[in-house]
Amino acid sequence: MDEEGKVWPSLRDYLWEGRLCMTSSQAYPVDEGCELLLAILHAMSIRFVTQEQTVQSFFLGIWREARFFRAWLCGQGLTQGSEVTVEGRAVMRMLAATRRVDAPDLASLEFPTLHPWNGLDRGTTRQQRERVMAAQEALGRMLRYRFIRQAVAGQPAIALIGYELGNNIPLTRVLWTLTFPDDYARDRLFGWLSHQLDRWSAWGELAANSGSRALSEHLLLLRFADEMIDHG
């Protein structure tokens, strides 16, 4: 029940139709809109998400929709610039707490990230780097789709694992792998992947449904999103 005495079917319905003044229909149900809202607020609350990353991660490459959605978030008071507001964080937590039982995995709303200025180098911070990487791997183990560091044919590698996939006989499958010349190069990419732990479930679904090549292409698009072309 809201402040005017109206009874809503759920908190999500109140947020979507009452607070945000959106409508729901069979073509675009409340849960679908709320899950997109949750995913974007989650990403923006953890790291700086550029415009192109928003386009590629959430809007299938459609720039106009991404620009409109970010402007709409700001107009609703859920974001300010690139930051999530206090109300935006409260909305994010409510949406995370009211998901369906069969909804895709959601990474922790707050998880440690490895920023470049924390010192990825070849020696002086190796132990610190390993501690952070191990902590990231531990968080990933809570997800159905998870990136892990392992050796492949004697080389350092990263693999994307799908845990217990399939309805009749659930199997754990390797969906994607990439090998590296040394563990430093591997950890550099793993640090970048871990910085986006909230997207692992979506990336896992992409690899499971469209294949490893589709995931590789998507990761390359994201990795170089918004980078300037060097004419020097």
pLDDT at 1: 64
- Whether residue 11 has pLDDT greater than 90: yes
- Whether residue 170 has pLDDT greater than 60: yes
Mean pLDDT of 167-179: 89
**Do residues 156 and 92 share a domain?**
no
Last residue of a domain, one of 70, 97, 124: 97
| pLDDT, tens only, 192-222 | 998 899 999 999 999 999 999 999 999 999 9
Other beta carbons within 10 angstroms of residue 155's beta carbon come to 14
Domain extent, residue 121, equals 116-223
| pLDDT, tens only, 21-45 | 998 777 778 999 999 999 999 999 9
| pLDDT, tens only, 49-59 | 888 999 999 99
Residue 230 covered by a domain: no
**Do residues 92 and 129 share a domain?**
no
Last residue of a domain, one of 38, 63, 97: 97
Q: Which residues pair with 80 in a beta bridge?
A: 83
Contact 83, 90 (CB under 8 A): no
Nearest partner of 96 among 153, 39, 46, 47, judged by Cα: 39
Whole-structure pTM value: 0.73
Buried b (16+ CB within 10 A) or exposed e, 192-218: ebbbbbbbbbbbbbbbbeeebeebeeb
Q: Provide the terminal-to-terminal Cα distance of the chain, rounded to the nearest Å.
A: 62
Mean pLDDT of 101-128: 63
- Residue 5, token pair as written in the block: 């005495």
Q: Residue 117: which pLDDT band, with cuts at 50, 70 and 90?
A: very low
